[in-house]
Every structure is written in structure tokens, then in C-alpha cells.
Structure 1
């Protein structure tokens, strides 16, 4: 029986692949907004980020007009100047003045000009963002300058650091009386109009710890195996009593794969667990554990004298012939979990609308047979959802609603974690508190929901959900 429990104790972490499908056809990650922006009145300071750059505008060949050269007045704004890697940022490109003129020989009616353009990214992330606008303009007399326009689009942040945004070329499409396109390009690099600083995603702690056995006599050496540590890192392996460390500790070094192996002598009889960590002290980001451990002191088991009226009865006479003392030792077991299913499949969402993709993680069964006062905690961590073309949906977009039920006869109660996001640094799925009585069998599950942004490119998006029991 002990061998079976030890085998279950070795499987402390569980990872599921979670996928969500986005349906639809060929896409461009674009958004349309309305209206142009008038230039600042004379004597007033320009809006923040407004720049001018020389522009060469080519009217459509059928218009028979010469090229128009002159300055374009524009500015770029963003909805989030301090995003995280993986976030989607909405950008707005406003053109207040352009040298382009009405290419039609007659007046253009209202709402006849459709703009499209691009924004140039540089710095920590390079590339271009496609932006589009809607048809919204006042009537334009023949030969008059075309009006200001507003265009929007989105991009996904892929690198931390400062990202600069500069206006690029644009096209003004006149839909009356026939389709006529005026194409404007910057004569040289345009000045930077907007800057944002992207923060890196928090690093998930994927360190794990397993013990060769869940109990032993005082002074016994317990085999400790850790994984997920920084290769070559100095690691401390220590005993723990509740939330405090004991004097039992050894130093170890992680190998080139981040694996740590050590033999820890446990002499403190109050030990309830073992931890391993990098640095000078254990932390949730730099350590792993505690892995449950119980000291069994068989030598401390003594036969208690019977008590009558509050006083022990001492029998000076030797035991009668044929009597024998009978002693039984109840050995503690392990803390382990099993779960149903190998993956989590979420529902599909329509392209354009986005929305919630729902599912369930599958049932987890936690068995606590340690017999000590220590509680346990089941924590989940999730990576970003990776999709086609490097597009990512942040892992923090996944939320869950946990549920935990203790089996009949279990000494401990069970507390479900809070409903909310499953963040990369970890969220509690279920737990039991320290203190007697402790132990039992518990059933844990959760409904999950991924919020998929509108206009997410179609395809399958996959993440890894890791559950750690300690």
C-alpha cells in the first residue's frame, strides 16, 4: 500500500493542452472608426503628438492631374500607452491636412471618401500596422483639397520595451462618379508621433519538487528531486514546520537541465514539509514546495497506564501468564491527485464578433492520507494561447469558476478558489487549511472561459494549463 501511495505522490503536477478555434475566412486585423480631425487654430498649440512630414501624392491617371506635393499634418494615438507583451493595442491615425486634391472633375458629395493607410513601428518591435477609416466627409468642391480623415487598426505587442509609431503612406479613395484613388507617400522617414512602453509578461514559476518518501524516522535522509530551476543555480533544500523553516537543510546545484537532487537529513520531529529554492530565502517565484513529509517517532510510543478517578493505577504485580502487549503503528500516506481527461477543448467563437469560448478542466481527485496537521493547495498556471502567424491571446484572458467537494467521512473541509483569471503567476483552484482534523478525499473541477478579442485571426489557439498540488 505504501508503494502505491508513493507512486501517486510522484505525480504532483498535471498539464493540460487547452485550445480554442476561431471560425471565419481570410482576415486582416483592422478596425474602422469615424471622422477627421481639424488642424489646431492659428496661435493655439498643436495637439500632443501632431507632426508634419513632406508628402508626394499621385492622383489617379484618369483624372489627368499633376502630382501634389506638400506637407501632411497628422498625429497617432493609442488606447494603451503601457501594454504588456501579448496585449492588443488599438491605434488611431488622424490626418488633419493633406496636399491631395479632389480628383473628380465635379464636386464630391458627402461621405464619398474612404481612407486607408499604415503606421510604421520601430524600436523594440518593428513592422507596419494597417489602418482603415469609414466614408465620412463634407462635400468637396472640384479642385479643392481633400478633407481630413481618421483611420484605426490594431496590433499585438510581441516584445517588451519602447515602441515608436510614425505615420506612413495613405490612400484616399473617392467613390464618385467612379472609383478614383489618390496615393500619398512620405518623402523620407516621417517623424515619430507616438511612443509606448511594453512590459514583459510575468514569468510563471514551473519549479516542481518530489520526495522519495512521504515519511520517515527522526534523522532519516529523504531523497529530494526538483525540476524547473535555473541551470547551474545554487539551490537550498530545507525542512519546514508549518510556515517556518527548520535547521534541517542542505545545499545543491541544479544541473544543465535545471534538475536538483539532494538527500536531506530530517531531524526536527515537527517537520511537515520540504522546500527548495534559489536565492537567500524561499519565495513563490523562486522556490518550490512544500512537499508534504511526516516524521514518525516509533520510540516515543509508550503504553499508557490506566486511569481511575483521575489518578494512574500502578500494578506492581507482573503480568499474568499468557498476556502480551499489542502495539500498532498507523503510518502516514501521501498527498496525491489524479484527474480525468488529457486535454481541454473550448468552444468556437465567430471571427469579427469574438466572445467567450467556454469549457471545463475535467475532474481532479485529491487524496490526503498524510494524517498530519498540514493543509494543501492546488494551484493553476496558464501560458499564453499561441495561434497561427505568431498571434497570441494572453493567458490572463482565461477565467475559471472553481468547485470543490469533500467526500463523506473526510476529516477536513475543502475550500474552492475564487472565480477569476488564471494568471501566469498562478491562481488557487482549491485548498484546505492547516490544523486538525486533516485529510480526506476531495473532488475538484472548474468551468473555464476564454475571452477572444474581436477580429482575432481564424485558427486554433493552444495554451498549457499546469496544476500543482502542494
Structure 2
């Protein structure tokens, strides 16, 4: 857990494409645009040319994805009297809003909003291209499709007027963008504990297999290297996910005991090995001695360099990005089993000095924790059995985000260094002073 502190003191065009080719994701669909009644204009029908892009095409569940919806061409016209002398829509009076339709692994709508920014438009001329952005949180793994939905063009010249454009038919909106979401890694907590770490051939060792689903059929077996031996017994896990058994160890080749559910051991449904030594009672020849060495499993833990985290200052009035780093985290995995690990973080809201916040209420000023984002980095030390995967760049917030992880595998472990650059977006005219929050890291 660490304390973070920060101190305050026109329409877009589509990306370039090869000549004669539309940019990736650019689509066209028939549209019906209804002008405001005050304008006295007939409805406008025609094609809308649109394009949707995302900042992260391969997010994990829980990530926040920023989407951009560009309306490059619309049949809508300015809500002006075409017969009025000098009729013109002034600059910077057009505000677009719209919807993006999600389908596939996740359904719903994303609201997008654009800036009030446009060049002057004469009556009868087409409205300019507009760009709108919004965000959504990924809630399910799999492919998610994004299609352009309806949009509204609001003008604030003389009167506040809305031109509402919808697809001619729901099935008429084609998919403009696709992303593939993956599930967050989950820790495999299955484990075995032995009442004795050695015994003569045929000795019964008491085994506790824990961390299994209640009622699961659990197999406890001997292992020699990566292969199972003939020593085996089964039992059902109780309501706490624990199975208590006695395993007769008769195979002299057995060097460890494992537990698993299903037809065979796997990294995702089995425990790591608990070392066991079969003491061979066969007499040795004169002048010889047996030498036995045991590798004992350790624990999973972490340490973090430094103490509190101080972010850069931003000027009063302008606001902007306050940068910093979380401080290097060292994760040590000495369990010697198949379970990977995940390191997540979450942050509280930033609280500052008293005074009137932007909402106008009195009290301590807050900057939402969702204003903090990070870009993680992760590396495995030489000799580590696992590869370290950094989490996605994006918002941390009170809901939390993945900082780094390793995957389940037949044998995992090692030493890993994890870090992240962080940025706090401070709103303009946030009262001067120091703002603090608590960042909590959880290793599992």
C-alpha cells in the first residue's frame, strides 16, 4: 500500500489510406435525419459514412476501452432558412453526440460526445465531419463488435436546435470495429500438505489436499519427476474444498505427492508437488552411504522499493497530467508448483484542501481515483521458470486493474521486477494544494 500525492499550482479527418481505398473500419449505412421543427426543413435521407476506432483492440476483462466515432459524411444540413440573406452557421456552435452499438461477447451501447468545434457553414451546404469519443468497461471475454448507431447534431446559434439522425433500419448498421477481450488470470490455489516428508516403502502418509471446489473428486498421487507413480488414492472434497486421505507410498521412485481433479493432472486443476522421500531399507554394501537432498517449497511474496509516491505538479487553471512512478515491486515465487500469480492495484479518490470544488459545494476537494492511469512494465530475472506479462495500460481507479501476472504451467517460479509509470489527470482550476490517495497492491 502506498500514498500518492499530486500538487496543483475543428472536425477531424479520417486517417490516410492508400489511394482508392477506404481506411480500415470505414463503413456506410442509410440514414434518416430529422431537422428541428423550428427550422421548417424537410427530412434528409442519404448515406452516412462513419468510422469507429478503439485505443486497445486486445483488452482484458475489467479494462477501460476508449472508442472514437467519426461521422465523415452525413445527409443532414444546417438548420437554417436557405432563403435568408447571408444565412450561415457560425464557427464553434456544433456539438455532436452519438451511440456505438456493442454485440458479441458483450452487448449494450456506448455514449460518445464531441467537442463544440466547427468551421462556418453556409445554408444548404453539408455539415462538416465530426468526431466523438467515449469509454466502456470490458465485462466479458471474447470477440466484441462495434457498430455505429444514431447521432444528434446540436447547434446553438440563435436557438438551441437538434438534428437527429438514425439508421434507416436496425440491420442497416454494419460492424465498423472488432476487439477480442481476454479473461483476467486467476490464481490456482490448489495445494497439498504432508504430515511426514519421508517414510519406508509402504508407509501411509497423511495428506491434506486443499483449495478444490466443494464436492470435487480429488486424486492424490505420487510423482517421479513429471510422471506419476503407481501410488494413488481418491476422495471427495468437503464443503470447504479439502480432502483428507492416507496415501500408501510403495513405489521407491516416488519423490513427491500431488493432488488434482479430473482425469489427469494439469497446471490449472492440480496442485504443486510436495516433496517426499522413500527411505530404501535395502542394506548398502560395506564402505558406501546413501546421500539424500531435499528441495523444499517456499512461498509467494513481494516487496516494494521506496515509500510514498510523489507525482509531478501541474499549474493552477490549466490542469493537466501529473506524472510519476509507483516504485519497483519485486515478486518472489518460490512455491515450486503449477500456479501462476497476478498482481493487481486499486486507488482511492484523491482528497485535497478545503474550499469550493468545481461542483460549487463546500468541503474537501476530490479528484476521482479513475483519473489515475498507468502503463505497467514487468521483467523476469535470469533463471526464472515463468515469463512475466505486464497488465494493459489504462485507468486504475477504485475498481482496480491488473499490474502484472504469470501464467499457470507445469512448473513455475522465479524473481520478477514490476513497475509502472502513472499519470493523474488534474481538472482545470482545481484549487491549489496537495492531493493524496492510497494505492493498494494485492498479490494472489
**What TM-score do you get using the length of structure 2 for normalisation?**
0.65
Return the alpha-carbon distance in structure 2 between the equivalents of residues 150 and 193 of structure 1. Answer: 18
Return the alpha-carbon distance in structure 2 between the equivalents of residues 278 and 296 of structure 1. Answer: 29
- CA deviations over 1:278-312 (Å, ceiling 9, x no partner): 22221212211112112233x34647349xxxxxx
8 Å contact from structure 2 (residues 75, 126) kept in 1: yes
8 Å contact from structure 1 (residues 111, 136) kept in 2: yes
Q: After TM superposition, give the deviation of residue 33 of structure 1 in Å.
A: 7.7
Aligned pair 1:53/2:21, yes or no? no
Q: Which residue of 1 aligns with 2:61?
A: 85
Assess, with a 3 A threshold, how the Cα gap between structure 1 residues 117 and 345 changes in structure 2: closer, same or farther: farther
- CA deviations over 1:224-279 (Å, ceiling 9, x no partner): 22233233322221111112211111122223343232221112223221111222
Assess, with a 3 A threshold, how the Cα gap between structure 1 residues 154 and 378 changes in structure 2: closer, same or farther: same
Q: Which residue of 2 aligns with 1:119?
A: 100
Return the alpha-carbon distance in structure 2 between the equivalents of residues 348 and 76 of structure 1. Answer: 40
Q: Which residue of 2 aligns with 1:146?
A: 127
Aligned pair 1:269/2:252, yes or no? yes
Return the alpha-carbon distance in structure 2 between the equivalents of residues 294 and 158 of structure 1. Answer: 47
Assess, with a 3 A threshold, how the Cα gap between structure 1 residues 181 and 378 changes in structure 2: closer, same or farther: same
1:9-24 mapped onto 2 (5 Å cutoff): none
Assess, with a 3 A threshold, how the Cα gap between structure 1 residues 219 and 291 changes in structure 2: closer, same or farther: same
Is 203-212 or 339-348 further displaced after alignment?
A: 339-348
Q: After TM superposition, give the deviation of residue 333 of structure 1 in Å.
A: 8.3
**What TM-score do you get using the length of structure 1 for normalisation?**
0.62
Return the alpha-carbon distance in structure 2 between the equivalents of residues 128 and 186 of structure 1. Answer: 14
Q: After TM superposition, give the deviation of residue 455 of structure 1 in Å.
A: 7.2
Q: Which residue of 1 aligns with 2:183?
A: 201
Return the alpha-carbon distance in structure 1 between the equivalents of residues 275 and 159 of structure 2. Answer: 74
8 Å contact from structure 1 (residues 276, 288) kept in 2: yes
Assess, with a 3 A threshold, how the Cα gap between structure 1 residues 218 and 460 changes in structure 2: closer, same or farther: same
Any unmatched runs of 5+ in structure 2?
16-21, 313-318, 350-368, 391-403, 428-435
Return the alpha-carbon distance in structure 2 between the equivalents of residues 357 and 133 of structure 1. Answer: 32
Return the alpha-carbon distance in structure 1 between the equivalents of residues 311 and 108 of structure 2. Answer: 28
Q: Superposition RMSD on alpha carbons, in Å?
A: 5.2
Return the alpha-carbon distance in structure 2 between the equivalents of residues 86 and 447 of structure 1. Answer: 23
Is 247-256 or 328-337 further displaced after alignment?
A: 328-337
8 Å contact from structure 2 (residues 97, 152) kept in 1: yes
Q: After TM superposition, give the deviation of residue 102 of structure 1 in Å.
A: 4.7
Instruction: Give 2:166's match in structure 1, choosing from 186, 197, 210.
Output: 186
Assess, with a 3 A threshold, how the Cα gap between structure 1 residues 117 and 23 changes in structure 2: closer, same or farther: farther
Q: Which residue of 2 aligns with 1:423?
A: 405
Q: After TM superposition, give the deviation of residue 180 of structure 1 in Å.
A: 4.8
Return the alpha-carbon distance in structure 2 between the equivalents of residues 288 and 154 of structure 1. Answer: 40
Q: Which residue of 2 aligns with 1:101?
A: 78
8 Å contact from structure 1 (residues 103, 182) kept in 2: no
- CA deviations over 1:136-164 (Å, ceiling 9, x no partner): 65541135342232323332221235545
Any unmatched runs of 5+ in structure 1?
1-17, 26-31, 38-43, 307-326, 367-374, 405-413, 432-443
| Structure with larger Rg | 1
